[in-house]
């Protein structure tokens, strides 16, 4: 009796620590990447991953498995047909992943995470359209125009070679910034130009504090993309 119980428990542990698949069920992941200002998007590689968190007594671990591959079509659309995982936490899509055959260094990697919360209709995940552009060199110009006595401490958040989009129950959040730059402008500094390599069409976020014998003000501002660069006046 004890031996049978032990075998049963071991079987549960083994079955609960790896991804399993429904052999007779196919899954279609369908979406489109919209180019910024009608820029032609190359045939970037598209990969679909399943991720699961499993108990492997006495610890927990994550398993990530590549379950499908494809390429963007000339209009930015993609379709990946794969086997449906039974026990994944969520499914993610990676477009133009670094290290993949066909990776284009002039375009960023796009990660779309959290497809599992989306409603699955007829074994199909319809991913929202996501805008993206090529990489370009630009700058942020910070100007002191009114505040002449305080030190400005700033942080610039932006995306460059990687853009992450998180899907949350039918909506998506593209406010996940992957890079940050920090600096200070002292009262003697009137302006500063900071070079950036960003994704064309993307906004950036600047968080700042004004310091004069302590913090006298702070704020956060989102600056929309401009072909002439980004400008922040304070």
Q: CATH code at 19?
A: 2.60.40.10
CA proximity to 219, closest of 205, 203, 233, 208: 208
Each residue of 209-231: pLDDT tens digit?
A: 999 988 899 999 999 999 999 99
**pLDDT bracket for residue 85 (50, 70, 90):** confident
Same domain, 35 and 23: yes
- Inside any domain, residue 71: yes
The predicted-structure confidence for 93-104, as pLDDT tens digits, reads as follows 999 999 899 999
Do residues 100 and 41 share a domain? yes
Could you tell me the two tokens for 208?
A: 């700042």
Find out whether 156 and 206 touch, Cβ atoms under 8 Å.
Answer: yes
Nearest to 159 by CA among 222, 88, 81: 222
- Return the higher-pLDDT residue of 85 and 69: 69
pTM of this structure: 0.79
Assess whether 84 and 38 both reside in one domain: yes
Instruction: Report the alpha-carbon distance of residue 10 to residue 13 in Å, rounded.
Output: 5
Average pLDDT over residues 65-69: 88
- Mean pLDDT, residues 180-205: 96
Compare 66 and 18 and report the one with higher pLDDT.
66
The whole-number pLDDT of residue 36 equals 83
Convert the pLDDT of each residue in 3-14 to its tens digit.
Answer: 443 443 344 444
Instruction: Give the model's pLDDT for residue 21.
Output: 58
Q: What is the pLDDT of residues 113-164, one digit of tens each?
A: 887 656 666 678 888 899 999 999 999 999 999 899 999 999 999 999 999 9
- Total number of domains constituting the chain: 2
């Amino acid at each position: 009796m004890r031996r049978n119980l032990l075998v049963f428990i071991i079987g549960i542990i083994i079955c609960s620590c790896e991804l399993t698949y429904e052999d007779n069920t196919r899954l279609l992941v369908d979406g489109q990447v919209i180019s910024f200002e009608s820029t032609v998007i190359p045939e970037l590689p598209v990969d679909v991953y399943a991720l699961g968190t499993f108990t492997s007594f006495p610890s927990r671990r994550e398993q990530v498995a590549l379950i499908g591959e494809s390429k963007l079509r000339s209009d930015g659309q993609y379709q990946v047909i794969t086997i449906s995982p039974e026990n994944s936490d969520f499914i993610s899509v990676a477009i133009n992943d670094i290290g993949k055959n066909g990776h284009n260094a002039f375009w960023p990697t796009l990660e779309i995470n959290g497809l599992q919360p989306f409603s699955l209709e007829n074994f199909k995940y319809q991913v929202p359209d996501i805008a993206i552009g090529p990489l370009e060199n630009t700058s942020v110009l910070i100007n002191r125009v009114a505040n002449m006595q305080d030190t400005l401490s700033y942080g610039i958040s932006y995306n460059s070679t990687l853009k992450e989009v998180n899907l949350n129950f039918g909506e998506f959040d593209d406010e996940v910034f992957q890079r940050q730059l920090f600096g200070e402008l002292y009262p003697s500094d009137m302006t500063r130009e900071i070079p950036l390599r960003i994704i064309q069409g993307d906004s950036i976020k600047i968080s700042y504090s004004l310091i004069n014998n302590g913090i006298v003000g702070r704020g956060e501002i989102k600056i929309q993309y401009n072909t002439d660069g980004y400008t922040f006046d304070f």
